[in-house]
Structure 1
Amino acid sequence: MKIVAKPIKTMVVFEYEGKTPIPYKFKFQRDDGSEQLIKIDKRIDSYRQKIAGIETVIYECQSVIDGIEKRYKLKYILSDCKWQLYAI
């Protein structure tokens, strides 16, 4: 996987007693300037990790993007409440 760290707009859900958001779908800006909407087909794993001293939650996911099944990672930065397409 290649690290891209692009900001994304994310729609999330919360479980009944969960405090951490669970991504459902997201939009990101392609290199040509257009936006693409991706529905998350499968969440493979999620874990907390400190990156450069910043507390994050990494979600490993899988979706069909442009007709090809791809795995990627989404990063949620807890202190800023921001999302990134971290690696694809």
Structure 2
Amino acid sequence: MKVIQCKVVEEWDGGDRHNFAFRISLDVSDEEIKSRDRHCLIRPETLIVFDSLEEKDANSRANLRRSAWAKLSPQERLALGLSEPK
């Protein structure tokens, strides 16, 4: 699995929408991007590239466990005999 941090740049269409333009490294400053197109939107994005479908399924289950764990109170965790997911 590879985790890639980047920025997504969306360009204004002149109306009420912004459309995807490109992804760029975090090393490029927002000011530099805005100097070329002052109406663009810039937002951070995390891309996760899995090496196999099995790896994707395992990651999805792990995220579900962490999400469920966070919703339980300490008393509920103790009553269910659950330990913190990895």
TM-score class, shorter: under 0.3
TM-score w.r.t. the length of structure 1 is: 0.23
More helix by share: 2
Larger Rg: 2
**TM-score calculated relative to the size of structure 2:** 0.23
